[in-house]
Amino acid sequence: MTDRPLLLLDVDGPLNPFAARLPRLRGYTTHRLRPQVWLSRQVPGTRRHRRGLRVHLNASHGSRLTGLPFELAWATAWMHEANSMIAPEVGLPIDLPVIEWPELLAVPGPDQADSSGLCWKTRPVLEWAAGRPFAWVDDMVTDRDAAHVAEHHDAPALLLRIHPGKGLREQDFTRLRAWATSL
């Protein structure tokens, strides 16, 4: 553990702009991957199940992220598979810490909120951060999540919503660096 703030990374949205309108995004390579959480929601034997999930990844993101003044960790439904499937493709270390979601398979869908309207990850993220400063990049965080974090987390926190059709962009890296250096 270091004195640097945490940077909590989601995969789908920030690193994998799954909602992109263009079939080929500049700088991105398409991969077919088979993460467990995705497979658990597919009908075995179907074409989709056999082919795997289409994932768009940018190999330059790893060096850009490791160059930021943060301690990186995964905050994604991919959990440990982010280290084995995503990290090698984007150039991140394959042993990043992972926030585990014990109730992940009980989550009805990736865009679901909890009973109070918070992203299903928000409360576990706060618990995992354990009072440390953090930035969290995710396509599902909302103003309600930011307000909850501000009220229940004593350290600085930045919740950076990433458009799922655009992924991490230059202005996001600039904002993350500025926020971290301002601490």
pLDDT, tens digit (0-9, with 9 covering 90-100), for 103-126? 665 554 545 656 677 998 999 999
Mean per-residue pLDDT, 15-44: 88
- pLDDT tens readout for residues 147-171: 999 999 999 999 999 999 999 999 9
Domains of the chain: 6-17+59-182 (3.40.50)
| DSSP H or E stretch at residue 58 | strand 53-58
Better-predicted residue by pLDDT, 3 or 166: 166
Using CA atoms, how far apart are residues 12 and 162, in angstroms rounded to an integer? Answer: 10
Contact 110, 12 (CB under 8 A): yes
Note the pLDDT of residue 112. Answer: 61
Note the pLDDT of residue 1. Answer: 53
* pLDDT band at residue 60 using 50, 70 and 90 as cut-offs: very high
How many whole angstroms from its chain centre is CA 182? 23
pTM of the model: 0.90
